[in-house]
Amino acid sequence: MFELIHRSPLQLVSLVLAFVAVVYYVYLRRLRQKHALLPPGPPGSPHGKYQPRLIQKWIEEYGPVISLRQGNDVLVIIGRHQRMIPVVQGALLPGAYKVDQFPFLQYVPGYGRQLKQWGDEEYDMLMGYMNQYKSQMSSDSGPQSVAKDIVSRTVTEGHLTEPETAYFLGSLVGAAFDTTQVAISTIMMAAARFPEEQAVVHAQLDAVVGHDAPPTFADWASLTEMQAFILEALRWRPVNPFGAPRRASKDVIWNGYCIPAGATVFGNHWCIARDPEVFPDPEKFNPKRWMAPDGTINDLKAYSFGFGRRTCVGSNLAIRWVCLGVSNSVVWPRVVVASYIMLIDVLELLKRHECMTTGTQIDLDWYSQVSTEGSLVIRPG
């Protein structure tokens, strides 16, 4: 120890640099060993016109679990049902921000200023809606709504605080704003594309509900054809083809491979929905695959609502709302017929006004995605 003190500054610097170099070498070696155990995968990142199909091709080429590199980030994509379970039972947590990994950052002045601004804006917006509902309730004005019922039962009866109720309502709106909207559009697109399957659902609706009343939650268990059609439509064209990202909070060992801590893990809905071991002839639209011989719904795993511990807690409510939204729609009973008649009427009207004398038939591009605005994406075939 005393000998080190009496060494020259240059010698001390050399010793420190040598120590740092050894530590860095050990770190790099461990990092390389860990990355050497990564699942196989292609070089580069997914780029192309429709990335889910490219990833599906890689899954078929490299295996059920693949890894990609984006700079220093590791992406792990799971593309088969049976491979999903042991991985998601590991430590997978959201981790979009560094504060998720290093909680002390929340105490650093200035860190997360943008997040705080977004949080304040969200709070003001949700509480504004909350106060609007309360004002309508006190003055007995405005239309009746589910939001008013929730406010009445939670706030006035003391079950939740006002901010808790506001965020609860915001969660329901957020869930229905894009995913539920896109799901309903996808189902309507499937109904237009497969009129024979649509007719089966319509026949059961007539038999169970009749012509004079819309279906309710009480009819859900009896509408097995509708359930199967919805499940197949969401398998055929997943609402979120890539799946929600998760982050490994610690190393996850699977089948001899290592998914390192900090890696981003995707359960790829598009590939999982096309696992031929679970869904034979996966490109075929076949609602019957969800039906058991006794007419009940098969317990096939549907990952439209996520997977593992972070699956959507409102999936049962969401699927029922989708069912009611589709079956109550005036479009559902005659999607194909109504659309065809509407098109013919428009063409005849244009011809009468001599705006168009000839036309070219177009086909729906069934591989297109449904936009978040809820409209179908239609391109010339």
Average pLDDT over residues 35-54: 63
- Structural domains of the chain, count: 1
C-alpha span between 318 and 324 (Å, rounded): 10
Token pair for 24: 């860095």
For the chain, percent of residues with pLDDT exceeding 70: 56
d(CA 258, CA 229) in angstroms, rounded, equals 38
- Mean pLDDT, the chain, whole residue set: 69
Beta bridge pairs of residue 253: 258
Lowest mean per-residue pLDDT among 50-64, 161-175, 256-270: 50-64
The answer to the question of residue 94 being in a domain is yes
Grade residue 130 by pLDDT with cuts at 50, 70 and 90: confident
Domain presence at residue 231: yes
Q: Phi-psi region for residue 308, left (φ > 0), alpha (ψ -120 to 50) or beta?
A: left
Nearest C-alpha neighbor of 182 from the set 371, 377, 381, 366: 371
Comparing 129 with 363, the larger pLDDT belongs to 129
269 or 329: which carries more pLDDT confidence? 269
In a domain, 142, yes or no: no
Q: Give the residue, 116 or 33, on which the prediction is more confident.
A: 116
Q: Which tens digits make up the pLDDT trace of 325-362? A: 777 664 454 444 334 333 434 444 444 444 444 444 44
- Cβ neighbours around 111 below 10 Å, total: 16
288 occurs within a structural domain: yes
The span from the first CA to the last CA of the chain, in angstroms, equals: 80
Q: CA-CA distance, 35 to 80, in Å (whole number)?
A: 22
With beta carbons less than 8 A apart as the criterion, state whether 272 and 80 touch.
yes
> Is there a domain that residue 110 lies in?
no
Rounded Cα distance, 355 and 164, in Å: 57
Among 125-134, 136-145, 353-362, the range with the most confident prediction by mean pLDDT is 125-134
Whole-Å CA distances, 328 to 143, 205, 229, 268, 352: 20, 10, 15, 31, 35
Q: What pLDDT, on the 0 to 100 scale, is given for residue 284?
A: 93
Q: In terms of DSSP H, where are the helices of the chain?
A: 2-5, 9-36, 51-62, 81-88, 98-101, 113-139, 146-154, 162-175, 181-193, 195-208, 224-236, 269-272, 315-327, 335-352
Q: For the segment 78-100, what is each residue's pLDDT rounded down to a tens digit?
A: 666 555 545 544 444 455 456 66
* Residue 324 counted as domain residue: yes
CB 320 within 8 A of CB 217: yes
CA distance 76 to 65: 7
Residue 120 belongs to a domain: no
What is the domain range of residue 236?
12-99+149-352
Residue 13: band (very low, low, confident or very high) from pLDDT cuts 50, 70, 90:
low
Of 148-152, 235-239, 292-296, the poorest mean pLDDT is in: 148-152
Angstrom distance (rounded) from CA 152 to CA 129: 14
User: What's the confidence (pLDDT) of residue 289?
Assistant: 92
Domain with residue 190: its CATH number is: 1.10.630.10
Residue 372 belongs to some domain of the structure: no
Distance between alpha carbon 151 and the CA centroid of its chain, in Å? 28
